[in-house]
A and B are shown apart, each in its own frame.
Chain A
């Protein structure tokens, strides 16, 4: 009997909808505080346009996923189709490229990976500041709640269920 119940539980676990993924772990408080202080100073420019504060480019009144990426980072490029899907389903996704010196390359990679969600390229000073603050390199993703408060920071390549879980946890 016990084996049957256990098998049933295993089966239920295996059939669980992918959207039910547990949220990624919460970033340590000191790192979150560091990034809360850093974000207001960051400047980024859209693929065509002048630099402006990054925070002003984030959509208002809904949770936002801010994904830091770079042309030299294959896991970052691999995430793009997933973020595009989320963007198409109505989620607010903003890409932030660390390719301050090569905006053309960033635009080319976005196009070749089918990424049409809003993207910014950090200026040199912001890129350096972000580099110093990155705890484990790229890719790196920040989650904001609907009131514009930074809720979590996640290092590494994410899956769609993980992003959805992080958004749910931020609400």
Chain B
């Protein structure tokens, strides 16, 4: 049977429609990244430096107010923040305050996994002991399995954190109430602001 011009156009239209439909899921609007106050802490996988376990720390702290500290592995100044967080935890234990530190590396303003996470975990385990931290010190995983990616959005796709020493305080409903990037010059003021936010919301 010969193909008529109208049939050709119909098949073309059909192909275009099929293509558009198959591309639709890819065009699905991506969930907005968590940047700070008003956003929610989103679930992501971490590797715990103490035991090497991979899990979602945000889920593990479900329903509890949480401080998350995002830190560059080479940023020694951040140790002050981690010690300060430990003091806040000790002072607010009865109110269920929890915390975790998330280590990685900043490349062009993007928080990424470190190259050798086993070596980094070893190093951070001794840092945790030296600083006397009782809360989890974690790392971004370097790789994800397909199964993991079905459940968890990698941190870099779920959060927009551009600098080391970014702290976020989220309430029991996981909403970020306070957020700041700590700078050496204003650290004390920022810690006080965090303490005020804790007093107001816990």
Contacts and interface: CB of A to CB of B under 8 A. Distances in A.
Given A131-B96, A132-B96, A72 B175 contact: no
A100 B173 contact: yes
A161 interface: no
B68 interface: no
A137 B43 contact: no
Interface residues of A, number: 25
Contact of A98 (B41, B42, B43, B62): B62
* Interface SS, B side: loop
Contacts of B172: 98, 127-128, 131
Name the interface size band of chain B: 20 to 34
Contacts of B42: 72
Contact of A72 (B40, B64, B95): B40
Contacts of B151: 74-75, 78
A34 to B, nearest CB: 13
B60 interface: yes
A165 interface: no
Contact of B173 (A78, A127, A136, A137): A127
A22 B102 CA distance: 36
A130 interface: yes
Interface of A: 68, 70, 72-76, 78, 98-102, 124, 127-128, 130-132, 134, 136-140
